[in-house]
Amino acid sequence: MTLLLQYTLIFSSVLLLVALGGCFAEHSGVINLGLEGIMVIGALGGALVMRYLPAGLPAIVVVFATMGGALLLGMIYSSLLGVACINFKADQTIVGTALNMLGTAGATLLVKAINTAANPDDVSSVIQYIEPKKAFLVNIGGFEFNWFMLVAIVALVIAYVVLYKTKFGLRLMACGEHPQAADSVGINVYRMRWAGVLISGVYGGLGGICYILAGVSEWKFENGVAGFGFLALAVMIFGQWKPTRIALAALLFGLFRALSNVYSGFPFLYNLNIPSNVYNMMPYIVSLIVLAFTSKNSRAPKAEGIPYDKGQR
């Protein structure tokens, strides 16, 4: 049961971070389907920081440096979405799909090049971070606490306060609901949409490094992030683009994802003789079922996905 709780919380943290990133982008009026690619690039940034950090650094330095590398690369990568969709008014669905494909392919190519430069016989896309990973883990009475669990809670509080208690957040949401009206009262719609996209990159990058740290002490980048970016989008929609509801949805989906890791430890599940692949598919099956029954009542920001034209009224 402890292991189930542990995995539920860490996978929920991943989904919460990435879904909140998508929430910021869509509230500004931009659909960020590239969260999967942003997660991969963010994970790459954090993994490279852990790989090249000098040994013996204090744990707090390792934690903040790794998160800094992840969120920085995630934000830089998300700027491609901003340039294409905000500046050039490209189709947001196509650009997001391209970012997903480019993220995994680009990360794989870069890691292989780095490994080959260090050892000509090594053509793998694997980065190891055995020692640095320990900085993120604290054992509390048999429960393995990961600092990203706390990061996710802090990120949730920040998202709620920013969106509902600040002028910036209210202006951001206005740009996703009725950008022409927002522009008429002096709000720079392009700037607010850029802010939403970059914030989504920060959250997505953190979610990426959190995901790869949830498992083993190395990551093969050609595997990507197993569809967690799309699962986070389902969490965001199920949560109705509201941070508190997104948190509850993340816990639900995180629980089903955790079951695929620990089902063998529960006799009543293991004795059902259900193939392990079925448990691995559970969060995605649940997402389809949930969205099928709830999508009719979903209320997305009205102007999401629509390029803003300043001359249009």
Q: What is the 3-state secondary structure (H, E, C) of 211-259?
A: HHHCCCCEEEHHHCCCCHHHHHHHHHHHCCCCHHHHHHHHHHHHHHHHH
**Two tokens at 41?**
């690039």
pLDDT at 312: 65
- Grouping H, G, I as helix, E, B as strand and the rest as coil, residue 33 is coil
Q: Kindly state the average pLDDT of the residues 25-37.
A: 97
Q: Which residue has the tokens 């009725």?
A: 178
Q: Element (H or E) spanning 42, and its range?
A: helix 35-52
CA-derived radius of gyration, the chain: 20
The answer to whether position 284 is within a domain reads no
Look at 51-55, 84-88, 157-161, 288-292 and tell me which has the smallest mean pLDDT: 288-292
Q: Kindly state the average pLDDT of the residues 208-229.
A: 92
User: pLDDT for 280-289, tens place per residue?
Assistant: 788 888 888 8
Burial of 227 (0-12, 13-18, 19+ CB in 10 A): middle
C-alpha 118/C-alpha 48 separation (Å) is: 14
pLDDT at 269: 61
Could you tell me the pTM of the whole model?
0.95
The answer to whether position 276 is within a domain reads no
Contact 19, 250 (CB under 8 A): yes
Residue 148 reports pLDDT greater than 70: yes
The answer to whether position 93 is within a domain reads yes
Look at 221-235, 255-269, 291-305 and tell me which has the smallest mean pLDDT: 255-269
The answer to whether position 273 is within a domain reads no
- Residue environment code for 129-160, b if the CB has 16+ CB neighbours within 10 A, otherwise e: beebbebbeeeeeeeebbbbbebbeebbeebb
User: pLDDT for 67-119, tens place per residue?
Assistant: 999 999 999 999 999 999 999 999 999 999 999 999 999 999 999 999 999 99
C-alpha 80/C-alpha 86 separation (Å) is: 10
The answer to whether position 285 is within a domain reads no
The answer to whether position 100 is within a domain reads yes
Contact 44, 105 (CB under 8 A): no
Residue 268 reports pLDDT greater than 60: no
How many domains is the chain built from? 1
pLDDT at 62: 96
- Grouping H, G, I as helix, E, B as strand and the rest as coil, residue 84 is helix
Tally helices (H) and strands (E) across the chain. Answer: 13, 4
The answer to whether position 290 is within a domain reads no
Contact 38, 204 (CB under 8 A): yes
The answer to whether position 149 is within a domain reads yes
C-alpha 257/C-alpha 199 separation (Å) is: 26
**Domain that residue 216 falls in:** 10-227
Backbone φ and ψ of 305, nearest 5°: 85, -5
Contact 10, 148 (CB under 8 A): yes
C-alpha 109/C-alpha 165 separation (Å) is: 43
pLDDT band at 271 (very low <50, low <70, confident <90, very high): low
